[in-house]
Amino acid sequence: MAPHAKISTMNTETIIAIKRPDDWHLHLRDGDLMTGVLADTAKQFARAIIMPNLKPPITSVSQAGAYRDRILKSLPVGSKFQPLMTLYLTEATPPNEILSAKEAGFIHGVKLYPAGATTHSDAGVRDLLRCQNALKALEETGIPLLVHAEVTDPSVDIFDREAVFLEEILRPALDRHPKLKVVVEHITTRQAAEFVAQGEDRLAATLTAHHLLFNRNAIFQGGVRPHMYCLPVLKREEHRLSLLQAATSGSSRYFLGTDSAPHARETKENACGCAGCYTAYSALELYAEAFDAYGYLSRLEGFSSLHGPAFYGLPVNEGFVKLQRVPTVVPEHLIRGGIELVPLCAGERLAWSLLD
Ligand code: DOR
Ligand code: ZN
């Protein structure tokens, strides 16, 4: 069992207490929607790595600082939630901006979006060789590069884009930059889990609840299911099992990152629907469901609360959250900042409930 996890029985119900967790990959957006979704995250997590893919993207320390201030002002009264900010890497990111990010102290990662790979990635990187000096500054400062690991070449099958990126883009970049710390975000394949397992200690990965719970059949069950569409797209069952194996292995290279990505209902249920699953509402319950189903609930704490801080060089949080083995039904829809969202597993029953 992980060092702090406590499982006790109370009134015949099973309760698990884990150190307060963090979300190492989160989309909050901005404005009223941000205020709405922030409360869902802040009730469970002490900190979150905030993705910079706004429109326009967060490319400078001053933009990240202003975004951080807006988040802090939107927090529910009394919340101590801490946003850990990131910069959006472009081919024009000056190395000095990365040195300033280190000095500022509130920036904890620089995000690499291959241009065209996903939501608001058009300002991203077409050729990583054009970012050599920025990556050298990351090596110097120790700030990790957070990678959306998919090639964008339309001739590469969408189900192979992650595996191809790892071999063709990321492996050479790791060789060119021997001190670069990298988080492969939201891994979806056996190849990614193995790539991280076989790499050096400077390599880690985040895993989403949806990639642990579902395979690609879920996108087409009885018809097209737009709320199951995210990027990287869900993969075959054999890949989901590899991800579960990695997440529950106890290895500190894997940690929780929801990739919770709110999109208004009408932009998902659309002829050209947006990619992203809204998982923040029941994030911990969803992860508990996956870990429990696989028989490794005792490893949930390491994955959720210990491995991420160790990689990012941050302290483990104070306090605990508790989950109880009592079913909870996910709402059919949520209104956040006046926008209708359909959460992952809407209308379905989950086995665990978060206790206040
Ligand atoms: O499904 C996704 N949604 N994947 C991403 O990489 C981006 C995210 C978003 O911002 O909506
Ligand atoms: Zn994301």
Q: Quote the tokens at residue 326.
A: 């009592």
Q: With contact defined as beta carbons under 8 Å apart, do 52 and 86 qualify?
A: yes
Distance 255 CA to ligand 2 centre (A): 14
C-alpha distance from residue 47 to each of 72, 159, 180 (Å): 12, 32, 23
**Residue 312 domain-assigned?**
yes
Alpha-carbon span 289 to 344, nearest angstrom: 13
Q: Which domain holds residue 161?
A: 6-355
Over 60: is that where the pLDDT of 273 sits?
Answer: yes
Q: With contact defined as beta carbons under 8 Å apart, do 225 and 274 qualify?
A: no
Alpha-carbon span 213 to 344, nearest angstrom: 11
**Residue 74 domain-assigned?**
yes
**Residue 292 domain-assigned?**
yes
Protein residues whose CB sits closer than 6 Å to any atom of ligand 1: 27, 53, 118-119, 148, 230-231, 259, 261, 275-276
**Residue 15 domain-assigned?**
yes
Task: Say whether 181 sits in a helix, a strand or coil.
Answer: coil
Per residue in 14-64, pLDDT (tens digit) is 999 999 999 999 999 999 999 999 999 999 999 999 999 999 999 999 999
**Residue 86 domain-assigned?**
yes
259 is catalytic: yes
Query: Which ligand 1 atom is the nearest neighbour of the CA of 113?
Result: 6
pTM of the model: 0.97
The mean of the pLDDT values for the chain is 96
Where residue 299 sits, what CATH number does that domain have?
3.20.20.140
**Residue 119 domain-assigned?**
yes
Per residue in 215-260, pLDDT (tens digit) is 999 999 999 999 999 999 999 999 999 999 999 999 999 999 999 9
Catalytic member of 32, 153, 259, 292: 259
Query: Which ligand 1 atom is the nearest neighbour of the CA of 275?
Result: 1
Ligand 1 pocket: which of 23, 25, 27, 235 to mutate (most atoms within 8 A of CB): 27
**Residue 1 domain-assigned?**
no
Distance 9 CA to ligand 2 centre (A): 36
Per residue in 128-179, pLDDT (tens digit) is 999 999 999 999 999 999 999 999 999 999 999 999 999 999 999 999 999 9
Q: Summarize the confidence of residues 186-207 as an average pLDDT.
A: 98
Distance 17 CA to ligand 1 centre (A): 30
Alpha-carbon span 320 to 305, nearest angstrom: 10
**What is the per-residue pLDDT for 8?**
63
**Residue 303 domain-assigned?**
yes
Domain count for the chain, please give it.
1
Q: With contact defined as beta carbons under 8 Å apart, do 300 and 18 qualify?
A: yes
